[in-house]
Amino acid sequence: MLNVSLRPDTAFGERDTICMGKIVDVCRQGNGKFQIGAGKIEYNFIYVGNLSEAHILTAQALLCAFRKPVPPLETRVDGQTFNITNDERILFWKFQRRISAVIGFPIKEEDIKIIPKWLALLVAVIGDYSIWIRSFGNRQPSVTRESFRLTTIIRTLNGDKARRVLGYTPKVSILEGIKRGGKWFVEEAKQAEDGKKVN
């Protein structure tokens, strides 16, 4: 049995409720202007369409390798791990502000409120425990230790191996992906107001 492991960057785009959806919610609540720390945290994100393309290329490569002699390690697909990226880095807070602007909540530089990391962590810890106690673990605070960690670490991957072995190159840039995802979230909100659901 042939197998492979894909390690994608943080995926975002249409119908994404984990990354982009949470950022959209934060911005709609008027909290997109808050930034933890100096704002120099680099991130690699991957647009969901590019990630789908990487899965297809991987499946095709595995099918080509089926019942053939094992190739040299540098061109082998089976049993390998590939980092899948958009091949471009962006500052995390710039990413959030781009999403905010695309969904209709632009943030001016002078409106950005910088929260020191130590204070944000303190709020996250207190919020985690107090809401857990009051709700018996049924509710989640808006600022958690996990969200603090994810917004204060550098998260970048090297996708050279996927380019070389799988032939993967991202077709949609981060900025274009933000536009496409933002458009979907705006349309979904409009249709939700009208009592319809976006397919």
- Condensed to tens digits (0 to 9), the pLDDT of residues 149-190 reads 888 888 899 999 999 999 999 999 999 999 999 999 999 999
For residues 55 and 138, which has the higher predicted lDDT (pLDDT)?
55
Find, among 28, 149, 50, the residue nearest to 96 by Cα.
28
Q: How confident is the model at residue 196 (pLDDT cuts 50, 70, 90)?
A: low
pLDDT over 90 percentage in the chain = 61
Q: What tokens were used for 117? A: 């990391």
pLDDT score of 83 more than 80? yes
Say what the pLDDT of residue 67 is.
77
Q: What is the pTM of this model?
A: 0.85
Element (H, E) at 45: strand 42-47
Nearest to 49 by CA among 10, 11, 6: 11
From the centroid of its chain, how far is CA 153?
14
Q: How far is CA 81 from the centre of its chain?
A: 20
Which domains, and CATH codes, for the chain?
A: 5-31+43-115+157-179 (3.40.50.720)
Copy the structure tokens of residue 159. Answer: 């996708």
